């Protein structure tokens, strides 16, 4: 059997209409949205009809993306495609953990809603932004950050893409410094400087939110953003620590490749992770599933590989 990884999309991939085609074409996807709607009425309308501003609000973005991620993953699973291991980018890691059985759906969804509310509050208290830096290595980006009091490399996405969290006040100056170093800085559509010390208060809130939950062992390996290794015994600690520590995405993809992954399937909105994977491991087969056409494409790929 072809070794496969599902990778779950994270914040920044949202768009109005996401998940609608899955909802209309898959009973498994419809069940995801209907469960979420019962817990948080209005979320279906937000996914299918929300304005860009509404979907950019972290309190909405994360629960909506969580639903689309899992709608795509469960639709693939219902069609007979089961991954060997999973990973998720930032918010996507909570969806990956839910798919792997660590949270049940209602637990995972409620936790994501809490996480989103805490991250929104921290962003409003500590005005900050995230910039994707292109054309420079991670170490070059780290060198530029050292010249600033509050600039943190937070997403090591590929060989030539590192995301930095920085105070909004210093954002223009930092962009100029990146340009002077030969790079390019692009502002990301998120509301704060995630995975950095700007989120320290969120960490404390997540520890408290996780404390009463009876989390289960994952039924398949889940590769962590925190260390690019599969989750071990410190499940709650790893989930909480992720929010104010960097995402080691390149290392995670390299680790899954070393474990034997032949096909990466991005589940959820957009194709950001698919593009990163193709840069990290050019020889890998990588494709995304955000609608029924994507499901059909993955099925065809598996059918061909099994012949």
Q: Is the pLDDT of residue 307 over 60?
A: no
Q: Is the pLDDT of residue 242 over 80?
A: yes
- How far is residue 203's CA from residue 194's CA, in Å, rounded to a whole number? 11
Name which of 133, 1, 130 is nearest 61 in CA terms.
130
Beta carbons within 8 Å of 126's beta carbon, 6+ residues apart: 167, 192, 193, 198
Annotated catalytic residue, options 26, 90, 128, 196: 90
> Higher-confidence residue: 13 or 256?
256
How many other β-carbons are positioned within 10 Å of the β-carbon of residue 232? 10
Mean pLDDT of 172-184: 96
CATH 3.30.70.250 corresponds to the domain 127-187? yes
Whether 4-124+196-305 shares its CATH topology with 127-187 is answered no
The answer to whether residue 90 is catalytic is yes
Tell me the pLDDT of the chain averaged across its residues.
95
Q: How high is the pLDDT of residue 190?
A: 85
> Higher-confidence residue: 122 or 303?
122
Q: How high is the pLDDT of residue 268?
A: 97
Cβ(233)–Cβ(224) under 8 Å?
no
What is 4-124+196-305's CATH number, 3.30.590.20, 3.40.50.11540, 3.40.366.10, 3.40.640.10? 3.40.366.10
- How far is residue 56's CA from residue 106's CA, in Å, rounded to a whole number? 23
Whole-number Cα distances in Å, 123 to 46, 116, 162? 21, 10, 20
> Which band of pLDDT confidence, cut at 50, 70 and 90, is reported for residue 302?
confident
Domain boundaries, the chain: 4-124+196-305, 127-187
Annotated catalytic residue, options 195, 196, 230, 245: 195
Q: Is the pLDDT of residue 187 over 70?
A: yes
Task: State the DSSP code for 79.
Answer: T
Q: How high is the pLDDT of residue 306?
A: 59
Cβ(247)–Cβ(132) under 8 Å?
no
- The 10s digit of each residue's pLDDT in 98-133 is 999 999 999 999 999 999 999 999 999 999 999 999
Mean pLDDT of 176-196: 93
Mean pLDDT of 260-287: 96
- How far is residue 265's CA from residue 72's CA, in Å, rounded to a whole number? 10
């Amino acid at each position: 059997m072809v070794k496969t990884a599902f990778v779950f999309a994270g914040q920044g991939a949202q768009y109005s209409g996401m998940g609608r085609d899955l909802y209309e074409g898959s009973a498994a996807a419809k069940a995801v949205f209907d469960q979420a709607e019962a817990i948080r009425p209005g979320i279906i309308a937000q996914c299918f009809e929300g304005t860009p501003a509404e979907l950019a609000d972290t309190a909405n973005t994360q629960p909506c993306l969580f639903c689309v991620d899992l709608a795509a993953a469960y639709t693939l699973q219902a069609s007979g495609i089961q991954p060997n291991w999973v990973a998720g980018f930032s918010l996507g890691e909570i969806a990956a953990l839910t798919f792997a059985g660590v949270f049940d759906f209602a637990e995972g969804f409620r936790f994501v809603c809490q996480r989103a509310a805490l991250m929104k509050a921290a962003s409003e208290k500590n005005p900050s932004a995230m910039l994707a830096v292109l054309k420079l290595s991670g170490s070059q980006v780290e060198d530029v950050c050292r010249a600033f009091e509050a600039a943190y490399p937070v997403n090591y996405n590929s060989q030539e893409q590192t995301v930095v969290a920085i105070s909004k006040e210093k954002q223009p100056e930092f962009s100029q410094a990146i340009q002077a170093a030969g790079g390019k800085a692009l502002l990301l559509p998120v509301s704060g400087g995630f995975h950095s010390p700007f989120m320290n208060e969120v960490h404390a809130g997540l520890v408290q939110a996780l404390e009463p939950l009876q989390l289960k062992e994952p039924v398949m390996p889940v590769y962590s953003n925190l260390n690019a290794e599969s989750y071990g015994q410190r499940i709650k600690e790893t989930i909480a620590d992720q929010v104010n520590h960097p995402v080691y995405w390149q290392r995670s993809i390299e680790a899954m490749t070393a474990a034997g992954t032949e096909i990466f399937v991005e589940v959820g909105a957009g194709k950001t992770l698919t593009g990163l994977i193709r840069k990290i491991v050019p020889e890998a087969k990588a494709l995304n599933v955000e609608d029924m056409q994507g499901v059909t494409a993955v099925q065809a790929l598996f059918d061909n590989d099994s012949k």
